[in-house]
Amino acid sequence: MTTATDLGRTHGYDDLPRLMGLMTGDEKHGPAATSTLDVLWVLYDRVLRVTPERRADPDRDRFLLSKGHGPMAYYAVLAAKGFLPAEWLPGFGTYDSPLGHHPDRVLVPGAEIGSGSLGHGLPIAVGTALGLRAQGRTDPAVWVLIGDAELDEGSNHEAIAFAGPAGLDRLHTVVIDNSSASHALPGGIAARFEAAGWSAVTVDGRDHAALYAAFTAPHPGRPHVVVARVEPKNA
Amino acid sequence: MDTMRDRFAPVVSRLLDEDPRLAVVLAEIGLDGFQDAMRRHPDRVINVGIREQLLVGAAAGLALTGLRPVVHTFASFLVERPFEQVKLDLGHQDTGAVLVSAAASFDWPAGGFTHMAPGDVALLDTLDGWTVHVPGHPDEAETLLRHAVAAGDDKVYVRLSVQSNRQGRLVDGQRFVTVREGRSGVVVAVGPLLDTVLAATEGLDVTVLYATTVRPFDAAGLRRATETAGTDVVLVEPYLAGTSTTAVSEALSDVPHRVLGLGVGRRELRRYGTIDEHVAAHGLDAASLRERIGGFVEAGRVPVGGRGPVSVGG
């Protein structure tokens, strides 16, 4: 049983399996949850300039979880970094819990958007990048995490096609590629972004050093996508 | 006379100069009117191309950073095509925007059904928390656009049409205006249909209320009107017939009442032609309205020594 001592404490990568274990699983969402774990950890641990204290800071980095299915890894990382108390985790999905099987920004501290329906995060991230730019806030980075099958949604293609020519260089997308799309993009995921003028890198989604290098690669004048390959969903 | 839509770009362009929080998001349609504003405010007048899902999603992102987005295209592409974005990116995210549509129910009949959206207000009625303005004159459109922009982070829909009344009236963005008083029923005329309703009810002993803000519905105003005019209520709306009958029934839920909802028919007309021809086809011309309103009010009259028809709620 967890105790109040977890409140305000931060945890390390090794604590994540225990934190995820506190949430009772929805089996369907299990693979989706672990596929994002390493990407989320590297982002929150080493890349994103956002902390629980900076949640309302207009100059914070934004992370938008578009792939809202299987959010256990997301909740675990948010708990590990002190955005939400680990005591909340065992209530996952229950009536009185703020933690649903899809996250709700109104209920989850640190969640920038509510997600679940596929294809909403990237267009919202485009607007967030535009809004920050319009206010002269050129420092904050906007990150959005989507899945490879989520790329099937046309709304994402609208956003990809716009963001490149618009030169949204503070916009970053991570595609978790667990080969779950029934009809994969011909030529590969990165090529689709590159054709629209994005900077693109494809890496091993479990390799923290490779992920960090990909996340921090310079991309002047262009939005940046990191395709993080993990083990196939149906393997 | 200019149209409501002719006012849109000049009014919003001036507001862009005055309010650093304001941003305009377009999907090619309406771009010409914002050329000057775009030069002055290149980061706050955004054209996403022909991408309506991105149009609404990007507006939500802008709102999340603290801006007040004004989003414009034809009603069919603003409310219907990206409806899930309206529901989730604005509603579920708890963000706001001002959606400003053009083309209304049949502003361009020769364009056919692809460019008609008689169901837009009914569709927004499935969501919570939307304010809906339906101006009936360019001057009112200007007033209501300013109300909409100034409404904090509220979700506001402004429905612009080329159909218009001859004169604008003082509207406050909230309440119905009493245009005529009578004792044998209340007729609520929405937006551009006021002139026709006034012509249709000439000589009838009915109260005519003018509604340019239909959500929230001015239930208190309707109830006040029924105190002298009785609880026979006719709605005349420039979009789907019956869109507001639920609001009327809720306003009068504790008293016996009758309600007749007139408006655009649900059946697809599948005709081109002119606005006037479509108005007539949907029974929204003065002669048709007189017949239907007169018949309804007459049927509700209690004959001396007898009983009127049984009152029914909605």
**Nearest C-alpha in B relative to A114:** B93
Q: What is the pLDDT of residue B304?
A: 57
CB count within 10 Å of CB B102 equals 25
Dist. CA B192–CA B198, nearest whole Å: 11
The answer to whether residue B307 scores a pLDDT higher than 70 is no
Q: What is the DSSP letter of B87?
A: I
Rounded to a whole number, what is the distance in Å from the CA of A15 to chain B's nearest CA? Answer: 31
Interface contact A113-B64, CB threshold 8 A: yes
**Do the beta carbons of residue A120 and residue A155 sit within 8 Å?**
yes
Scanning chain B, the segments in alpha helix (DSSP H) are 4-18, 35-40, 52-64, 75, 83-85, 120-124, 138-150, 194-200, 219-229, 245-251, 275-281, 286-299
Q: What are the distances in angstroms from CA A35 to CA A29, A120, A204, B77, B170?
A: 10, 20, 11, 36, 59
Closest by Cα among B120, B72, B73, B117 to B98: B72
Q: How many beta-carbon pairs under 8 angstroms link A with B?
A: 105
Q: Do B61 and A130 lie within an 8 Å CB cutoff?
A: yes
**Contacting residues for A56 by C-beta, under 8 A, at least 6 apart:** none
Q: Report CA dihedral (B195, B197, B199, B204) to the nearest 10 degrees.
A: -150
Q: Enter the tokens of residue A59.
A: 């100059």
pLDDT tens per residue across span B125-177 = 999 999 999 999 999 999 999 999 999 999 999 999 999 999 999 999 999 99
Average pLDDT of the segment spanning B61-82: 98
pLDDT of B300: 82
Mutation pick from A62, A130, A143 vs chain B, by most beta carbons of B within 10 Å, is A130
- How far apart are the C-alpha atoms of A212 and A205, rounded to whole Å? 10
Pairing status of strand B45-47 against strand B177-180:
unpaired
pLDDT above 60 (res A8): no
> Is the per-residue pLDDT at B103 higher than 80?
yes
Asked whether the predicted pLDDT for residue B94 surpasses 70, the reply is yes
Residue A185: pLDDT band (50, 70, 90) is confident
pLDDT at B314 over 90: no
pLDDT for A166? 97
| CB of A106 less than 8 A from some CB of B | yes
| The pLDDT value given to residue A125 | 98
Distance CA A184, CA A190 (A): 12
Cα nearest neighbour of A56 on chain B: B65
Q: Among positive and negative, which fits the CA dihedral B84, B86, B91, B94?
A: positive
Residues 125-144 of A with CB under 8 A from B: 125-135, 137
Give the pLDDT band of residue B302 (cuts 50, 70, 90).
low
B212-262 tens-digit pLDDT: 999 999 999 999 999 999 999 999 999 999 999 999 999 999 999 999 999
Chain B positions with Cβ closer than 8 Å to A: 23, 25, 43-44, 46, 48-49, 51, 53-54, 56-67, 69, 84-85, 88-89, 92-94
State in Å, rounded, how far the first CA of chain A is from the last one: 34
Structure confidence by residue, pLDDT tens digits, B107-118? 999 999 999 999
pTM of this structure: 0.94
Answer with the residue of higher pLDDT: B106 or A185. Answer: B106
Angstrom distances, CA of residue A162 to CA of A20, A126, A189, B60? 37, 9, 17, 16
Mean pLDDT of A47-72: 96
Other CB atoms closer than 10 Å to residue B105's CB: what's the count?
Answer: 27
Out of A58, A106, A130, name the one closest to residue B58 (CB): A130
Q: Verify whether the Cβ–Cβ distance A154 to B48 is below 8 Å.
A: no
Average pLDDT over residues B23-27: 98
Residue with tokens 């310079």: A218
Do A128 and B64 lie within an 8 Å CB cutoff? Answer: yes
pLDDT surpassing 50 at residue A3: no
What residues contact B73, with CB distance under 8 A and at least 6 apart?
B26, B27, B29, B30, B52, B55, B101, B102
- Tens-digit pLDDT profile for residues B4-13: 999 999 999 9
Residue B48: phi, psi to the nearest 5?
-90, 5
Identify the pLDDT of residue A214.
Answer: 98
Cβ contact (<8 Å) for B61 and A126?
yes
How much helix, strand and coil, in percent to the nearest 5, is found in chain A? Answer: 40, 10, 50
| Chain B residues within 8 A of A124 when measuring between CB atoms | 57-58, 60-61, 64, 89, 93
Task: Specify the pairing of strand B207-211 against strand B177-180.
Answer: antiparallel
pLDDT at B303: 59
Once rounded to an integer, what is the mean pLDDT over residues B76-80? 98
The H or E element spanning position A209 is: helix A208-215
Chain A hits for B63, Cβ within 8 Å:
127, 131
| Whole-number CA gyration radius for chain B | 20
Confidence bin at B188 (pLDDT 50/70/90): very high
The SS3 of residue A156 is: helix
Please provide residue A42's backbone torsions phi and psi, each rounded to the nearest 5 degrees.
-60, -40
Instruction: Quickly state the pLDDT bin for A26 (edges 50, 70, 90).
Output: very low
Contacts of A220 (CB under 8 A, 6+ apart): A169
pLDDT digits (tens, 9 = 90+) for A187-227: 899 999 999 999 999 999 999 999 999 999 999 999 999 99
Gap from B217 CA to chain A (nearest CA, Å): 27
Position B306 pLDDT exceeds 50:
no
Q: If you measure CA to CA, which chain A residue comes closest to B91?
A: A114
C-alpha–C-alpha distance, residues B78 and B104, integer Å: 11
Cα separation, B279 vs B103, in Å, equals 14
pLDDT band at B312 (very low <50, low <70, confident <90, very high): very low
ipTM score: 0.93
Residue A123 and residue B89: Cβ atoms within 8 Å? yes
Q: Which residue has the higher pLDDT, A85 or A9?
A: A85
- pLDDT number for residue A10: 82
CB contact under 8 A, B43 and A112: no
- DSSP H/E element including B98: strand B97-102
Distance (Å, rounded) from C-alpha A213 to C-alpha A215? 6
List the strands of the sheet with B68-74, edge to edge: B45-47, B22-26, B68-74, B97-102, B155-159, B130-133, B213-215
